[in-house]
Structure 1
Amino acid sequence: MKAAGILTLIGCLVTGAESKIYTRCKLAKIFSRAGLDNYWGFSLGNWICMAYYESGYNTTAQRVLDDGSIDYGIFQINSFTWCRHGKLQENNHCHVACSALITDDLTDAIICARKIVKETQGMNYWQGWKKHCEGRDLSDWKKGCEVS
């Protein structure tokens, strides 16, 4: 039990960022202002649903994958292809440091997510979206959030 607590503390110190977990409606407003509603044909509900299943709306979420790459932030953007992590030879298609994807300012994460949708096969990049959001009525995701 103590070991798990110590590992959690070390994990928090390593990230160097204070975790912010957005509410659904706050995120809906941010995404709406950022022009994500109907971006490349994907409704606001798709973006909110995807962010929930990828990160639980946690800006500092990180997941190490079997290949050694890391998924970062609210959209779980991968270090191998989309951002720069340390000195590793990633592709960095978003031209951004991975650390910029785990801050409370979602600007870089949104710009990169838009690039992913535009340059890949839409939202199919995200397994959470494919499993939980694709092809479903997602209107409830923005319900009560005072967004159009």
Structure 2
Amino acid sequence: NMKALLSLGFLLLSVNVQAKVFERCEIAKVMKTQGLDGFAGISLAHWVCMAQHESHLNTLLTKSFGGRDTVYGIFQITSEYWCDDGKMPKLPNHCGMPCSALLQDDITQAIQCAKTVAKSAQGMKAWSSWTRHCQHEDVSEYIKNCGV
């Protein structure tokens, strides 16, 4: 039955691209292990808050802004400055990686790139959701009872 076979194919395809969505404490532990706690003077709770508001902790999230640039992954990092989307190789690519590296379940490279962003002149202000939801807020809830 071709129809059943086709729908099975689509099912397998959709399972294949299933995003990893982190739990709050799970991401906090990974971030801590990878040296984000206090990195560039930013507390772990602030990093978790930022990622929560940028992507809801979804590694596969991308958003496009009229084709000019796209933001990628758990930190919603833009192709305009930080990664190579293959469309506009003339852009700076400050993280020195393909944008696809920011969509992996293993967020090691995404964290590496986020550190590069945090050390830049913009710092955490590169993430508008951090400015809106985290910057002047009590963010202790984001790592509460996580054992970090």
Shorter-chain TM-score bucket reads: 0.7 to 0.9
Structure showing greater Rg: 2
CA distance in 2 between counterparts of 1:121 and 1:85 reads 22
Q: Over the residues paired in the alignment, what is the CA RMSD in angstroms?
A: 1.6
Counterparts of 1:87-98 in structure 2, within 5 Å, are: 87-89=87-89, 90-98=91-99
Query: Structure 2 CA distance, aligned partners of 1:53 and 1:143?
Result: 17
Distance 1:40 1:108 in 2: 17
Length-normalised TM-score, structure 2: 0.86
What TM-score do you get using the length of structure 1 for normalisation? Answer: 0.86
- Inter-partner Cα distance in structure 2 for 1:45 and 1:18: 27
Percent identity (aligned):
42
Task: Tell me the equivalent position of 1:63.
Answer: 63
CA contact (8 A) 1:17 1:103 kept: no
Aligned to 1:29: 29
- AA in 1 matched with 2:138: D
| Unaligned stretches of 5+ residues in structure 1 | 1-8
Q: Does 1:44 align with 2:14?
A: no
Stretches of 4+ aligned residues off by more than 4 angstroms = none
Aligned to 1:79: 79
- The CA deviation string for residues 28-59 of structure 1, in whole angstroms up to 9 with x for no partner, is 00000011111111100110000010000000
